[in-house]
Structure 1
């Protein structure tokens, strides 16, 4: 059976982009829609590879002074500049920022101490960047831009809770940020802003139980937050936000046998694509049966021997799934949609 994908496209064979990765890759778009992928290198430094003007890939570049202990969190700001947030080996939260639109990066800046997980970053409704992380006390913490001065950040503030791993965050269709976490009880919990751009947050709410990895989030075509996780039965599961952007539906399985958490991205036809690593070590994908549908196709194999894939849409709005390859080299690989 042909892999279900956006009409008019196919999935091409995996492409090796070389490099040596010590953690999962983190892609982001520059202001001119060129992709750039940030990774922790085998030397512990932050590296990236980005596309040239013609959308071919340039050489790997090391970001001097930036040492990371895990997966970085790049985000494109409303001012057109990328910021990359990361945890250092001594548990500092640092950021590097582009000096100008589509440009090089400045020196690292420290934002917080004693963090207990890799950070995640998301834009609020007014474009301010919010950075969430687990603290050394296992609570959820965050810092955000002060006003619309994108180079200034608030002091870290605790949102409470008890986390096992890094959080996941997304802006929903109501303009409020939603953060999903795996709790210390292996439950799936969410916390949400009380109103658009608010510094006040509602209390944590448990959505389901039996979570075995930290969750990931994506928004569907209606702006509803969809939370994906690996269940205690080894299958992929989903908890979807309802149309009120407040409540969540009951958890539902996407089936499959997976080894790590699922990831997801919205394709140009308005359907979410969900990527998993199967028990065979290959990359698999399931797709919403229709825009904003609650049902998904069966998982179909994209092949390869992979780590967790991080998907992103390119300048043509075609999906790419970047992953760390198997074996001692642990190169960066890309599985991409192409026009049929």
Structure 2
């Protein structure tokens, strides 16, 4: 890994993808997506993947790694992006999935215990810890539960088992040691709450204008994985196609779920990562914001990656 690696994180709709695109177009870095929904093929509009035009101007990886019918976990993601980090190129990692970022920067032990051991470890956790992890790491499955099931530790254990899977279970054993490890500094974008809410509302309107319902129609007949099935935007679009929600109801629900996601992302970043925050309000243009990110990267230096 001879190239330098820099990270940019932030909640959904914070502008991190635009900043990464702007810098990579001018400096030639490879952009690695750290977004757990961008990895599914055929789910483009609702996951805000870069457009074809944007991909023609900058090199990307971390997209379209699996069919939406496949189960996919962080271990598979790390295997998929490893060649990029071994290529020797300078890299920008951009995304909002905190677990992916944490595993890239702090390491991941891919030696898996038996399923029974995973369940025992989960069942030994207190309810507050289970609830927090379910919200942060299995958000789609958690939000699909009834209120009663959200208060049921056994149900929380089951959805976490689905997310971690055998290949990911070892990360549980090391979460305590993660907290004691030195955390490398990475750069993040922080957006004023009202501005972020406006951006989320605009993004949801644009998703439907760009053809989200048509994209969902192509997916609805497939045996989708639980993660893909509950993806924000798609679950609501499926409900419109099944006549369970009106278009306006679907938009409103998507906005609400996206706001909740942004809040969970910021909680994760604050608690799990060492982020050098940049307030986007201080930089009114994309050029200025990208310049501030570049300066912050010079200050923090390249971030080591542990694969």
Give the TM-score of the pair, scaled to structure 2: 0.27
More strand by share: 1
- Structure with higher RCO (Cα < 8 A, 6+ apart): 2
More helix by share: 2
